[in-house]
Structure 1
Amino acid sequence: MAKINRVFPHITALLFRLFFGGLMLTHGIPKLQNLLTAQEVSFPDPLGVGAVPSLILTIFSEVVCAGLLVLGLATRLASIPLIITMLVIVFIVHLNDGLSGQELPLLYLIGYLGILLLGPGKYSIDYLRK
């Protein structure tokens, strides 16, 4: 039983990374395709930096950082842009939508905070690089 208890946190970290990173890719990849193929970009600009820079920052977070989570590479560092993206979505983009509009990004936010705190675990590239 003690051996299982030592492995549990690593399996949990792996599942969190695969689940939250993999699911976020399903949001980011369509945005990347849109950026690459659209003649004109239509995207929210919650921080006032412009639609295209906002989209690029979101794609970086949702594709690059989510991909790094799946691999377990620079895990804690990669979780930070995802946390920031979810904070912007919850507290700026969907501020007036109530819980119905904030529920999914809040769930992602909790997951990414968990990954930040838990770390990559033993089943990651980060662990192999030690």
Structure 2
Amino acid sequence: MLKKFLRPTKLPAAADWAILILRVGMSVLMLRHGYAKLSGFLGGDHSFADPIGLGEELSLILTVFAEFGCSILLILGLVSRAALLPLIFTMLVVLLVIHANDPFDDKEHALTFLIVYVTLLLTGPGRFSVDSSLYR
């Protein structure tokens, strides 16, 4: 079952190119956010929101893992669907907890990432990915 979850879906060539652009483009944008948090963490700044009660430092570590680590995996197309799960969870927390009472404009950024991540979860990483090479 795990192998089926990780295996890329066969799509037309144009769709594979579109997924590559979407996967890499959104990951690079998210990588910016993750890198800023990682730099702060490595610089000794461990203050962070604790939206689901795990503690500030653990919340920061998990967010850096999702935004930085999983974005790199997604750029490569390596264990893509598994890498999308922490990203989706992080965007749900941002959308539904952090910005729960904020106007839509403040939620729009997280919602955009969430829509793309769910789409990639459904389509898979496409032909131009490490996953595709591994599961050919």
Query: Is the TM value for this pair above 0.5?
Result: yes
Gaps of 5+ in 1: none
Q: Which residue is equivalent to 1:84?
A: 89
Greater relative contact order (CA < 8 Å, ≥ 6 in sequence) = 2
Residue 53 of structure 1: CA displacement? Answer: 0.2
TM (norm. structure 2) is 0.89
2:30 aligned with 1:24? yes
Shift of 1:6: 2.3
Within the alignment, does 1:15 sit opposite 2:24 as a pair?
Answer: no
Question: For this pair of structures, how many residues does the alignment match?
Answer: 125
The equivalent of 2:134 in structure 1 is 129
| Runs of 4+ off more than 6 Å | none
> What CA deviation, in whole Å up to 9, does each residue of 1:13-72 have, x standing for no partner?
10111011111000000100101112x422100011110000000000001101100000
TM-score of the superposition, structure 1-length normalised? 0.93
Q: Residue 51 of structure 2 aligns with which residue?
A: 46
Q: Residues 73-126 of structure 1, C-alpha deviation per residue, up to 9 Å, x if partnerless?
A: 001110111000000000000001120110000000000001101101100000
Which of 87, 99, 102 pairs up with 1:94? 99
Identity score, percent: 42
